[in-house]
């Protein structure tokens, strides 16, 4: 031990101040690290919460927009397909049998609706029961929307670009809270009219509940009345336990509002202050405890230092026999440094002159095989050269602290660890060579966790394939490659046929298994590390096929469709057969104007063409 510590106190009695300074610097570094880590943890937590809220709100908005868009498409398709029947109902408003026929058709198309009404721009409402089912607000909306018909052209089938479309919002009629979707139609004889169908907000509640971050409140608010709550994950204004409006304090807490296109709604979060404050307080308490422990160690070491100095002076004044006692004191000092759980070291002229137990454990070697060894012997030539450059800068700038990251080979010799090194230079009394001292913080687990979180953010948790975010990122890159190298690029959108019936009849567990079965077939049916299968949401999937023309994409789509049709979902006593409908679109090689949203819209149109043609088929966009 005397030989090991001779660099601190030679056999000629010298001051222990350099060691004291080293210990104090180590303590200050440890306190700085504790404060830095605590502050970073609080910032990371708040940042992660903010990102989680914004991400889930964005997803919820996308689902609400898609829900309204699909319902609008279905209402428009229904009105166009049954325009002649609607014309007859308006021509004979007293014919109850005719009205019942339309009611039966509407119920078949829209099982969850609770009211409908049709009219000419200048005619009466049929059925004429607005007071009971729709109300004055709905009457006012459909009359306002009637003005849109004045902007029709081409036989009453095409809207002018400046025509105002109806944007839904929730009407607060007691016991019948609802929102309306209105579409125009035109019959063969040239007459035009409107069809409005009313729906309960229950599906909107399900969308919010599916995307709400635990502990926080996901809300659907009115755009024209910012304080008005339309829907929450628990219900709507008719059945939630509050007045249906936000207080001024709650309005100030809302961090963002995302407008839902095509509606009068905004998606927003009401963050939980209790959740944020409790987590922050816990981190602050842990940080304070760590700082207190290090501070008490510094106080203890300071006490020891002055006690040691008094002993040293007595040794100088009295006799050399007391020198042995100072060696014991230095042994106690070494023990104290070894108590610090953070790896600490001192390098001098390219050699490790001192290391504590935590540093020895970090390198996986005994202290005797570390102290006195060169940095090259311990860490290898490449890492030693990096350390030499850092040390040279620190020695040239006394008192400067350097914080940097490095990858260090683990004791097993196969894996590496990510570390953050805090280092400074120091001059010991009587030593002409300036040393460097430092502390090491192992952040391997934090970096691995960060990498896992980034991977999870790009993966659909139910199926394990790529999610919508990953798909959009990859397709953008592939479009650029397609443009640069002149290769075609194909996109296939896929929807499980009658999936709502699967959930309604067999339950969501079977629905989830159905989605996993389809995802597995998609992933197995494409080229490894070339193509990409992704779940866009719900029962919707997509395939990205780089360097694939329209014919090849149709072959892939049909092959996968047949494979899925041949699969069965095990229900125990019986098996469920699943089919899909697909839409195929191809961007030609060397394109310069094709956009991601354009391809998705075209693929969706081709998909809906497959649905209208009877499902369980693939349709190319060029064929519709």
**Which residue did the predictor score with more confidence, 295 or 621?**
621
Residue 420 is predicted with a pLDDT of: 86
Task: Write out 491-536 in H/E/C secondary structure.
Answer: EEEEEECCHHHHHHHHCHHHHHHHHHHHHHHHHHCCCCCCCEEEEE
DSSP 8-state assignment for residue 163: P
Name 406's Cβ contacts closer than 8 Å, sequence gap at least 6. Answer: 383, 386, 418, 419, 421
CA distance 104 to 106: 6
Least confident interval from 80-84, 567-571, 596-600: 567-571
> pTM of this prediction?
0.43
Per-residue pLDDT at 132 exceeds 60: no
Summary mean pLDDT of the chain = 83
According to DSSP, the residues that pair with 490 across neighbouring strands are 545, 586
Residue 5 is predicted with a pLDDT of: 39
* CA 137 vs CA 123, 124, 225, 401, 530: distances in Å: 18, 16, 16, 69, 54
282 membership: H or E segment, kind and range: helix 273-317
Burial 481-504 (b: 16+ CB within 10 A, else e): ebbeeebbbbbbbbbbbebeebbe
Phi-psi domain of 364 (left: phi exceeds 0; alpha: psi -120 through 50; beta: other): left
Helix spans in 124-272 (H)? 130-133, 136-146, 202-211, 248-253
**Which residue did the predictor score with more confidence, 50 or 592?**
50
Name 83's Cβ contacts closer than 8 Å, sequence gap at least 6. Answer: 185, 186, 187, 188
pLDDT-derived band at 8 (thresholds 50, 70, 90) equals: very low
Mean pLDDT of 386-411: 84
pLDDT-derived band at 3 (thresholds 50, 70, 90) equals: very low
Per-residue pLDDT at 260 exceeds 90: yes
Per-residue pLDDT at 367 exceeds 50: yes
* CA 32 vs CA 23, 282, 287, 344, 357: distances in Å: 14, 19, 10, 14, 21
Q: Report pLDDT digits (tens) over 475-501.
A: 999 999 998 888 999 999 999 999 999
pLDDT-derived band at 324 (thresholds 50, 70, 90) equals: low
Residue 220 is predicted with a pLDDT of: 93
Residue 144 is predicted with a pLDDT of: 66
CA distance 511 to 499: 7
**What percent of the chain is modeled with pLDDT above 70?**
86
The tokens describing 269, both together, are 């979060």
Q: Are strands 568-570 and 435-442 parallel, antiparallel or unpaired?
A: unpaired
Pair 436, 394: CB distance under 8 Å = yes
Most confident region among 51-60, 180-189, 419-428 by mean pLDDT: 51-60
Q: Report pLDDT digits (tens) over 277-296.
A: 888 888 889 888 888 888 88
Nearest to 603 by CA among 622, 590, 577, 575: 622
Residue 598 is predicted with a pLDDT of: 92
334 membership: H or E segment, kind and range: helix 323-339
DSSP 8-state assignment for residue 434: P
Phi, psi of 439 (to 5 degrees): -130, 150
Q: Is 425 helix (H, G, I), strand (E, B) or coil?
A: strand
Mean pLDDT of 510-536: 94
609 membership: H or E segment, kind and range: helix 596-612
Report the helix count and the strand count for the chain, using DSSP H and E. Answer: 18, 22
**Which residue did the predictor score with more confidence, 574 or 354?**
354
The tokens describing 136, both together, are 């004055």
The tokens describing 326, both together, are 């100072």
Residue 146 is predicted with a pLDDT of: 59
């Amino acid at each position: 031990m005397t030989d090991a510590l001779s660099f601190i106190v030679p056999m000629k009695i010298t001051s222990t101040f350099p060691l004291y300074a080293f210990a104090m610097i180590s303590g200050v570094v440890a306190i700085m690290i504790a404060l830095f880590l605590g502050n970073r943890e609080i910032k990371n937590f708040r940042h992660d919460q903010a990102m989680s809220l914004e991400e889930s709100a964005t997803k919820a908005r996308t689902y609400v927009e898609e829900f309204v868009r699909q319902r609008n498409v279905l209402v428009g398709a229904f009105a166009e397909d049954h325009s002649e029947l609607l014309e007859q109902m308006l021509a004979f408003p007293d014919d109850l049998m005719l009205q019942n026929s339309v009611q039966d058709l509407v119920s078949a198309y829209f099982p969850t609706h609770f009211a409908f009404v049709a009219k000419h721009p200048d005619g009466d409402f049929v059925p004429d029961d607005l007071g009971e089912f729709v109300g004055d607000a709905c009457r006012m909306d459909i009359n306002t929307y009637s003005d849109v018909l004045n902007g029709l052209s081409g036989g009453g089938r095409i809207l002018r670009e400046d025509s105002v479309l109806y944007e839904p919002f929730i009407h607060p009629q007691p016991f019948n809270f609802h929102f309306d979707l209105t579409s125009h139609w035109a019959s063969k004889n040239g007459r035009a009219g409107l069809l409005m169908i009313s729906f309960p907000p229950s599906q909107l509640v399900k969308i919010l509940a599916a995307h709400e971050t635990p502990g926080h409140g996901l809300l659907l608010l009115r755009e024209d009345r910012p304080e008005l709550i339309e829907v929450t994950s628990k219900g709507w204004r008719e059945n939630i336990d509050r007045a249906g409006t936000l207080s001024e304090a709650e309005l100030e807490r809302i961090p963002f509002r995302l407008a839902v296109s095509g509606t009068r709604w905004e998606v927003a979060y009401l963050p939980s202050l209790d959740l944020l404050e409790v987590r922050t307080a816990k981190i602050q308490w842990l940080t304070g405890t760590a700082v207190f422990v290090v501070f008490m160690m510094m106080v203890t070491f300071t006490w020891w230092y002055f006690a040691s100095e008094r002993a040293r002076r007595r040794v100088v004044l009295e006799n050399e026999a007391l020198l042995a006692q100072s060696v014991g004191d230095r042994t106690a000092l070494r023990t104290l440094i070894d108590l610090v759980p953070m790896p600490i070291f001192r390098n001098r002229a390219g050699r490790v002159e001192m290391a504590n137990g935590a540093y020895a454990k970090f390198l996986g070697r005994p202290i005797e095989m570390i102290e006195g060894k060169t940095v090259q012997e311990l860490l290898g030539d490449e890492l030693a050269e990096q350390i030499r450059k850092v040390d040279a800068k620190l020695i040239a700038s006394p008192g400067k602290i350097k914080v940097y990251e490095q990858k260090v080979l683990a004791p097993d010799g196969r894996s590496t660890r990510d570390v953050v090194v805090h280092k400074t230079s120091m001059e010991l009394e009587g030593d002409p060579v300036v040393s460097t001292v430092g502390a090491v913080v192992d952040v391997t687990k934090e970096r691995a966790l960060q990498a896992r979180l980034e991977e999870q953010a790009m993966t659909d948790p139910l199926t394990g394939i790529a999610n919508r975010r990953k798909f959009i990122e990859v397709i953008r890159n592939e479009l650029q490659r397609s443009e640069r190298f002149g290769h075609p690029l194909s996109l296939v959108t896929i929807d499980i046929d009658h999936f709502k019936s699967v959930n309604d009849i067999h339950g969501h567990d079977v629905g989830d298994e159905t989605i996993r079965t389809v995802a597995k077939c998609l992933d197995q049916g494409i080229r490894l590390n070339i193509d990409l299968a992704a779940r866009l949401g719900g029962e919707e999937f997509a395939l990205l096929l780089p360097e694939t023309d329209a014919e090849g994409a149709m072959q892939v789509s049909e092959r996968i469709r047949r494979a899925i049709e041949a699969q069965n979902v095990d229900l125990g006593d019986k098996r469920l057969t699943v089919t899909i409908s697909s839409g195929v679109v191809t961007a030609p090689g060397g394109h310069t104007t094709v956009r991601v949203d354009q391809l998705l819209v075209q693929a969706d149109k081709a998909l809906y063409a497959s649905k209208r043609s009877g499902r369980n088929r693939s349709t190319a966009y060029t064929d519709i």
